[in-house]
């Protein structure tokens, strides 16, 4: 935001001599300010990462996946038919949910790309290249659409997630951090940790012997 405002007002001052309502409302300062706001985060992310890298150990991700796989294997062996059927049902539900999220990821990605190129490339550059002059009626319609679009975006992206997740948010505030401690200290969680560690150690021992 700071970069965009600096470029916007700086170019208005540079090209038109002063920062006024008229100069800051010109097309080119607004255009370059918007472009700077859009693309500067990519540069800042790289620079900040190089200055202070986190040095994340990606091997830990694979370790967690291995633990989950051993835990599923351990719970599936030696259980009753009802438990085995439940495990199969949960596994099938997880696969279906993953496919569902992957489908919506593709839809969201294509929609985001189309929205970006439509709003930032095709629509404004074609109007700029044709030197189109707004008529009074067209400008009024432009403002109405812009205001409706902004309010819709604010309500959907800003307030709807809060309303939709209000129960989870209230549950987190009410728990006060006690839920994690309770789950950690339950006998079932300790038993599962022992089972996972036993299976992992046994598998490691057999692998090393082979």
Confidence grade of residue 8 (pLDDT, cut at 50, 70, 90):
very high
Angle between helices 59-76 and 187-209 (to 10 degrees): 110
Angle (deg, nearest 10), helices 81-117 and 59-76: 150
- Whether the per-residue pLDDT at 11 is higher than 50: the answer is yes
Residues with Cβ within 8 Å of 19's Cβ and at least 6 positions away in sequence, in order, are: 9, 12, 13
pLDDT at 15: 94
**CA 205, chain centre distance (Å):** 40
Q: What is the arithmetic mean of pLDDT over 90-108?
A: 77
Least confident of 29-43, 45-59, 174-188, 189-203: 189-203
Query: pLDDT digits over 123-158, tens only?
Result: 878 887 888 888 899 889 989 998 998 899 889 888
Q: Which residues contact 16 (CB under 8 A, 6 or more apart)?
A: 22, 23, 26
- Look-up of token digits 């700029």: 128
Secondary structure class of 53 (helix, strand, coil): coil
Question: Would you give the DSSP letter of residue 154?
Answer: I
Say whether pLDDT at 44 is over 70.
yes
Retrieve residue 38's tokens: 């859009």
Measured CA to CA, the distance from residue 13 to residue 172 in angstroms comes to 49
Which tens digit of pLDDT belongs to each residue from 19-39?
999 999 998 999 899 999 989
Residue 86: pLDDT over 80: no
Mean pLDDT (whole number) for 103-119: 88
Secondary structure percentages of the chain, helix, strand, coil, to 5: 85, 0, 15
């Amino acid at each position: 935001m700071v970069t965009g405002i600096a470029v916007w007002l700086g170019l208005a001052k540079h090209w038109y001599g002063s920062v006024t309502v008229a100069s800051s409302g010109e097309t080119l300062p607004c255009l370059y300010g918007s472009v700077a706001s859009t693309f500067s985060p990519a540069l800042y992310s790289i620079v900040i990462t190089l200055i202070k890298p986190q040095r994340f150990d990606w091997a830990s991700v694979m370790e967690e996946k291995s633990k989950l796989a051993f835990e599923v294997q351990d719970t599936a062996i030696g259980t009753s038919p009802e438990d085995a059927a439940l495990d199969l049902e949960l596994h099938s539900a997880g696969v279906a949910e993953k496919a569902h999220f992957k489908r919506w990821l593709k839809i969201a990605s294509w929609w985001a790309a189309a929205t970006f190129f439509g709003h930032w490339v095709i629509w404004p550059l074609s109007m700029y290249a044709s030197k189109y002059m707004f008529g009074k009626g067209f400008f009024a319609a432009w403002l109405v659409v812009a205001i409706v679009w902004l309010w819709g975006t604010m309500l959907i992206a800003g307030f709807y997630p809060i309303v939709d997740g209000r129960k989870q948010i209230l549950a987190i505030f009410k728990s006060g951090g006690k839920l994690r401690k309770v789950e950690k200290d339950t006998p079932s969680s300790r038993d599962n940790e022992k089972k996972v560690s036993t299976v992992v150690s046994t598998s490691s021992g057999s692998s090393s012997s082979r």
